[in-house]
Amino acid sequence: MKSKFKIKGLDCANCASQLERAIQKIEGIESVSISFMTEKMELEYDEARKEEIMQKVKKVIKKEEPDVTIQEV
Amino acid sequence: MKKKGIKIIIALILFLITLIINFNNQWINPIIYIVSYIIVGFEIVRKAIRNIMKGKVFDENFLMTVATIGAFAIGEFPEATCVMLFYQVGELFQSYAVDKSRKSISSLMDIRPDFANVERDGKSQKVDPDDVKIGEIMIVRPGEKVPLDGYIKEGKSSLDTKALTGESLPREVAEGEEVLSGSINLNGVIKIEVTKKYGESTVSKILDLVENASSKKSKSENFITKFAQYYTPIVVIIAVILAIIPPLIIKDWAFSDWLYRALSFLVVSCPCALVISIPLSFFGGIGGASKMGILIKGSNYLEQLANTEIMVFDKTGTLTEGVFEVQKIEAIDISQEELLKIVAYSENYSNHPISLSIKKAYAKEIDEKQIIKIEELSGRGIVARIGEQDVLVGNEKLMKEKQINFTKCDEIGTILYVAIEGKYAGYIVIADKIKENAKKAIHDLKKNNIKQIVMLTGDRKDVGEDVAEKLGLDQVYTELLPDGKVEKVESLLKEKSEKGKLAFVGDGINDAPVLAISDIGIAMGGLGSDAAIEAADVVLMTDEPSKIVNALHLSKRTMRIVKENIVFAIFIKVLVLVLSAFGLSTMWEAVFADVGVSVIAIINALRVLRGKD
């Protein structure tokens, strides 16, 4: 399943790619793409485990970039 | 951002005052430097502490904090403050530039309709475009955007489609004609019957496409993120070694000297200039392209387009209009006008594309009373009696069958021979017309280092070869079935060099398999054609071949800027690293290598947005 998020509060493009790498490591995430320019995150993941995976994604974001907020669109 | 700017200005004033006046007091100077440092750098230090708690060592906030606090520790007060100050200036400038390009792109993509006026229960209601159903009637007043696709039920107007096609001439529309969402109604009030839901309408499709374009990253972008991933740790490790090892080996060397060099390293270790300027350039390139009515589905395609070696064209609808037109009238013993008139009268009741093109060329009212008798002979032509004359209009077979003494014509296209009263009267050549700017486009492509331009067509050999010759193409393959086109493209893919790319240009309707196997699939006339938008990597909203040249120019320009930034930033950084390692450059140069390079790279990247092409 694919979901799109508005991602706000990223400081720089490097932070975006670091965050992208960290999210990629989460189990159940098939692909992730964060665009610093458009402030968009695209996630592809196992739909059956949506709740669990989204929890993990939020945890990773909180750890890596505490100022960043996401909102599903 | 404003708050940050004010902080920077206050800190900068304090810093300059101290630097210029120089209080000559061992207490006042450092204190002012530290105050100005705290004003401008507190945020960074706070983030650095927070991040280090989480084990993020190579974070830029942390690196800047260590570099500046280290500089304070060895008594380099002005340097410490200056590094932080300029780092913040760079950050501010960066967010300004990013913001600006985001805005300028969203403004050119400002085609999203905010509302739709729908007729419900006899009244006009203002609703969200998402809530409009198929079959409902919308009212669009002058100055408003057409919210959903549909056709005009009532009224006429001219529409501004610039945001969709890049075309500045307004389009006249009247009852029964199709209108696309995203165009702006210029004068009359029109009523439109909705044919597509908002999510499926042109405007949402285009917005979707442009917004998602940045998720397909180019090789250059991936290279830079990879580079950044290794660059920072390596520089930091060298910095640590530089601070510790030399003073240990040689006793006379002062630890503080080497620490200073190591701190300069930390300042240069931030890869931000590159990491931001590359996607910024691509973003600008994609945005600039959509302004011209060229939709590029990802940075990777923009990058590949610049490396195109072979360009393959479909013929009908791509290089030619796909519409038959009278190309030549050869009249014997009567006027051309008279000949055309007789043929137009004979073809009056036929709806064949050829007949339609004759009637279009004649363009006058046909007086049907003069048509006495018409008989169609299938596969040969027409036998008619027009006014007082017996007329034969048809191909060679008809002429031979009726034993007309005619001269065979070698023109390319469909030829209609005409005989009046049993006597040969001339012929009319009808052919698909080559698009107006096709020849110039091909010429320009060649000038832009496209090594091979090939045309594939399902059309007859003589027709295809004639078009190819007129346009100056390198190769042409004719009489191909759809799978034959796939085969040809596959074999052409083997001919290109390793880095070169093959682009296929088609109308997107029946070329889907070829578009898919090409490196870059380009579809023309994308406006209103979902199939084309779906299948291609690059969509030209209008069907002018010259748009391909524009796209190529833009991709080359973007890639040139990307390369300039990569080479420039890496060169300056490495140079300053080497110089500081040998103690030949100070922290001032290091700040330039970090912030200065960022700013220059960003300004360079913003040039793409201002592209003329």
Q: Exactly one of B314, B459, B507, B543 is catalytic; name it.
A: B314
Q: Are residues B428 and B473 in the same domain?
A: no
CATH code: domain of residue B181: 2.70.150.10
SS in 3 state form for B515-527? HHHCCEEEECCCC
Flag whether residue B283 sits within 8 Å of chain A, measured between CB atoms: yes
Q: How much of chain B exceeds pLDDT 90, in percent?
A: 25
Q: Is residue B279 part of a domain?
A: no
Cβ distance of B276 and A17 shorter than 8 Å: no
Q: Are residues B309 and B383 in the same domain?
A: no
pLDDT in tens, B36-58: 999 988 988 998 888 888 777 77
Mean pLDDT of B102-122: 80
Quick one: closest CA in B to A13, which residue? Answer: B276
Mean pLDDT of B269-273: 78
pLDDT in tens, A27-59: 889 988 888 877 888 888 988 888 899 999 999
Is residue B60 predicted with pLDDT exceeding 90?
no
Cβ distance of A36 and B272 shorter than 8 Å: no
Q: Is residue B575 part of a domain?
A: no
Q: Is residue B370 part of a domain?
A: yes
Q: Are residues B474 and B389 in the same domain?
A: no
Stretch (H or E) spanning B300 = helix B299-305
Stretch (H or E) spanning B415 = strand B414-420
Tokens, residue B533: 């938008």
Please tell me the distance from the alpha carbon of residue B349 to that of residue B113, in angstroms, as a whole number: 45
Tokens, residue B291: 């302004």
Q: Is residue B119 part of a domain?
A: no
Cβ distance of B215 and A17 shorter than 8 Å: no
Flag whether residue B87 sits within 8 Å of chain A, measured between CB atoms: no
Please tell me the distance from the alpha carbon of residue A45 to that of residue B542, in angstroms, as a whole number: 37
Please tell me the distance from the alpha carbon of residue B473 to that of residue B445, in angstroms, as a whole number: 11
Q: Are residues B410 and B342 in the same domain?
A: yes
Q: Are residues B471 and B367 in the same domain?
A: no
Which residues of A fall within a CB distance of 8 Å from B215?
33, 35, 40, 42
Which residues of A fall within a CB distance of 8 Å from B54?
63-64
Flag whether residue B531 sits within 8 Å of chain A, measured between CB atoms: no
Which pLDDT band, with edges at 50, 70 and 90, does B420 fall under?
very high
Mention every residue, 6+ apart, whose C-beta is less than 8 A from residue A15. A36, A64, A65
Please tell me the distance from the alpha carbon of residue B547 to that of residue B563, in angstroms, as a whole number: 24
DSSP for B564-579, please give it.
Answer: HHHHHHHHHHHHHHHH
Flag whether residue A3 sits within 8 Å of chain B, measured between CB atoms: no
Cβ distance of B102 and A38 shorter than 8 Å: yes
Q: Is residue B443 part of a domain?
A: yes
Cβ distance of A12 and B272 shorter than 8 Å: yes
Q: Which residue shows structure tokens 């050549």?
A: B429
Q: Are residues B488 and B397 in the same domain?
A: no
Q: Are residues B372 and B505 in the same domain?
A: no
Cβ atoms < 10 Å from Cβ of B254: 11
Q: Are residues B374 and B334 in the same domain?
A: yes
**Interface mutation target, options A2, A6, A17, chain B, most CBs of B under 10 Å:** A17
Q: Is residue B563 part of a domain?
A: no
Q: Which of residues 20-59 of A touch B (CB under 8 A)?
A: 21, 33, 35-40, 42
**Interface mutation target, options B56, B98, B214, chain A, most CBs of A under 10 Å:** B214
Q: How many residues does chain B have?
A: 613
Mean pLDDT of B493-512: 86
Which pLDDT band, with edges at 50, 70 and 90, does B33 fall under?
confident
User: Would you say the ipTM is above 0.90?
Assistant: no
On whether the CB atoms of residues B392 and B399 are closer than 8 A, the answer is: yes
**Cα–Cα–Cα angle for B369, B370, B371, rounded to 5 degrees:** 90
Instruction: Pick the closest to residue B267 from B221, B303, B235 (CA basis).
Output: B235
- Residue B391: per-residue pLDDT: 92
CATH code: domain of residue B360: 3.40.1110.10
Instruction: Pick the closest to residue B339 from B277, B424, B408 (CA basis).
Output: B424
Q: Is residue B562 part of a domain?
A: no
Is residue B613 predicted with pLDDT exceeding 50?
no
Cβ distance of A13 and B54 shorter than 8 Å: no
Instruction: Pick the closest to residue B382 from B412, B413, B419 (CA basis).
Output: B419
Cβ distance of B211 and A36 shorter than 8 Å: no
**Which strands make up the sheet holding B294-296, listed edge to edge?**
B294-296, B538-540, B520-523, B501-506, B308-314, B452-456, B475-477
Calculated CA dihedral for residues B245, B248, B250, B254, nearest 10 degrees: 90
Please tell me the distance from the alpha carbon of residue B550 to that of residue B212, in angstroms, as a whole number: 22
Range of the domain at B418: 321-434
- Select from A11, A14, A33 the Cβ nearest to the Cβ of B215: A33
Distance from CA of B215 to the nearest CA of A (A): 6
Cβ distance of B217 and A38 shorter than 8 Å: no
Flag whether residue B586 sits within 8 Å of chain A, measured between CB atoms: no
Question: For chain B, what is the mean pLDDT?
Answer: 86
Which residues of B fall within a CB distance of 8 Å from A12?
60, 91, 94, 272, 275-276
Mean pLDDT of B142-159: 90
Flag whether residue B53 sits within 8 Å of chain A, measured between CB atoms: no
- Residue B272: per-residue pLDDT: 76
State CA B529 to chain mean position distance.
17
Please tell me the distance from the alpha carbon of residue B300 to that of residue B205, in angstroms, as a whole number: 20
Cβ atoms < 10 Å from Cβ of B464: 23
Cβ distance of B279 and A13 shorter than 8 Å: yes
Cα-based distances in Å from B255 to A18, B251, B258, B262, B274: 34, 9, 5, 10, 32
Q: Are residues B549 and B466 in the same domain?
A: yes
> Is B314 tagged catalytic?
yes
Topology of A2-72 in CATH? Alpha-Beta Plaits (3.30.70)
Distance from CA of B286 to the nearest CA of A (A): 12
Flag whether residue B94 sits within 8 Å of chain A, measured between CB atoms: yes
Is residue B19 predicted with pLDDT exceeding 90?
no
**Interface mutation target, options B104, B225, B282, chain A, most CBs of A under 10 Å:** B225
Cβ distance of B280 and A37 shorter than 8 Å: yes
**Interface mutation target, options B108, B212, B216, B602, chain A, most CBs of A under 10 Å:** B212
Please tell me the distance from the alpha carbon of residue A41 to that of residue A22, in angstroms, as a whole number: 13
B133 DSSP assignment = P
Q: Are residues B382 and B524 in the same domain?
A: no
Give backbone dihedrals phi and psi of A68, rounded to 5 degrees, phi first: -90, 135
Q: Are residues B469 and B329 in the same domain?
A: no
- List b or e across B578-612, with b for residues whose CB sees 16 or more CB atoms inside 10 angstroms: ebbbeeebbbebbbbbbbbbbbbbbebbbebbebe
A65 DSSP assignment = -
Task: Say how many domains are in chain B.
Answer: 3
Flag whether residue A13 sits within 8 Å of chain B, measured between CB atoms: yes
- Residue B450: per-residue pLDDT: 92
Q: Are residues B365 and B464 in the same domain?
A: no
Q: Is residue B328 part of a domain?
A: yes
